[in-house]
Structure 1
């Protein structure tokens, strides 16, 4: 017979996460006395001290930290089981939420979703624009079901889909092109760099070279492309988004002696394959096929 219950572990975790019994009570809507009773009973059953209370300050013990790590895994697994049960009971999902990094080719997303909508016309599609860590943050918070990101998730499933090529470019009339020489990073420092900021609200990530003395930050790749086309700076941009501008000569590659081109892996990220519904699975299958065709045609 088990000595402890999931509810006791949930209350213990709440006390640690919120920093005290009173704070935990307001968050999980339990009385302070019931939380005290649950944690005390948990400690008595295990024969260890999980929390140390000094006046109004409550802190976790070293033993408590070890056991909380195990409890976190246990509680997460229970949440996954409940979510899978909900998904199975509902059948086809009513909504498919996809977080897509702005550097990923939008045409591929739209083609895949067109197939999904033809098969599941009752499913509402929500496409959320993200940058860098923003995709994984939405998945972790339960605000997106699937994500396309250049950053793998530390917790979850990551399937590498393809490589996206980024090029250092500027408007055809930009001063860097007038230097008429192989450019070093020192040459770039005196000119304005356009960067796309991470859309995450918590742990943000920087990507690429950020050595320019002047930088303009924008929230989407499309805005970065617009600024380059207006001769307002230089940037590393995804090839898929600037193909026409390059072909017309409106923007040109910078002649860097190193780092003028880089390939970035993009991942299909999600938390748990058992929680993925039929429409999501169809989308993922179409996405794999289309990215494979893109890779083959590029080769």
Structure 2
């Protein structure tokens, strides 16, 4: 059986933080004699001296310093237990599972997660970077609570989130930049294109760019992740349409240059926020949805 109570540990910590019994009394809303008695009982139970009082100030002994570190952990764990119990009693989910298309700017995602975590600090976050075609399966099998995807899903909750602009780029030393005139899609046919799997299918092209022009390329490499495509283009292994939000710094430092295309230099990818049933989402998931929309509307 424990020799000390959690309340005694809290009073001991308050004395240390406030520098004396008078300050601790006000902090914990107890009389000074009650705080003093609690610390004395604590020292008697542990059979060690925790504090030395000099005038109106209380100082930790060497033993007190060691004990305080353990006590702070104990108090924090007790607080965590209480928070978990409160969350469970209110129906707050323990984990928020989100499938995220890589085209969504990371800064937007991270801000929404931070804002949500400020309200629900014990919430666990499970992020899955998925290819668009797996979104329905992830939602239907309850692998994730929410999905941010480029595929609109009908029959469940599906809201437009944002449009991501893609731009045609290549390394600054790529031979395509040596053309004196504007490039056509015919000029691209003899050069390697880097394609992120599924993204080419779901981007909306400019009206003046026909499907024949964009699909009839002789050379291409297909990768699963956007970051791989960015890395390959940065190493002059090919050209690609990449989201401006992800490569602006590479354009600014002149690693990449925009291709001088006569038509179709930009493309747009629409992202949707989907879930199986909005009414069944927990409060943390609802908060994340709202924060995500607010942040996107501000950008």
TM-score by length of 2: 0.64
Q: CA deviation at 1:150?
A: 1.6
- The number of equivalent residue pairs is 202
The aligned residue for residue 98 of structure 1 is: 98
The aligned residue for residue 79 of structure 1 is: none
**Residues 137 and 259 of structure 1: CA distance in aligned 2, closer, same or farther (over 3 Å):** farther
Runs of at least 4 residues of structure 1 off by over 6 A? Answer: none
The aligned residue for residue 150 of structure 1 is: 150
The aligned residue for residue 265 of structure 2 is: 260
Q: Which of 222, 229, 237 is matched with 2:234 structurally?
A: 229
How many Å separate the matches in 1 of 2:282 and 2:202? 33
Larger radius of gyration: 2
CA contact 1:136–1:149 (8 Å) conserved in 2: no
Q: What does 1:174-189 align with in structure 2 at a 5 Å threshold?
A: 174-189=174-189
Q: CA deviation at 1:191?
A: 0.6
The aligned residue for residue 290 of structure 2 is: 285
Q: CA deviation at 1:207?
A: 3.9
Q: Which moved more, 1:141-150 or 1:162-171?
A: 141-150
Q: CA deviation at 1:90?
A: 7.6
Secondary structure at 2:263's aligned position in 1?
Answer: coil
- Unaligned 5+ runs, structure 2: 1-87, 204-213
- Unaligned 5+ runs, structure 1: 1-87, 200-204, 295-299
CA contact 2:153–2:274 (8 Å) conserved in 1: yes
TM-score by length of 1: 0.64
CA contact 1:97–1:127 (8 Å) conserved in 2: yes
How many Å separate the matches in 1 of 2:236 and 2:257? 11
Q: CA RMSD in A?
A: 1.9
CA contact 2:172–2:256 (8 Å) conserved in 1: yes
Q: CA deviation at 1:189?
A: 1.0
How many Å separate the matches in 2 of 1:172 and 1:207? 27
Q: Which of 219, 222, 236 is matched with 2:224 structurally?
A: 219
Q: CA deviation at 1:256?
A: 1.1
CA contact 1:168–1:235 (8 Å) conserved in 2: yes
The aligned residue for residue 76 of structure 2 is: none
CA contact 2:151–2:202 (8 Å) conserved in 1: no
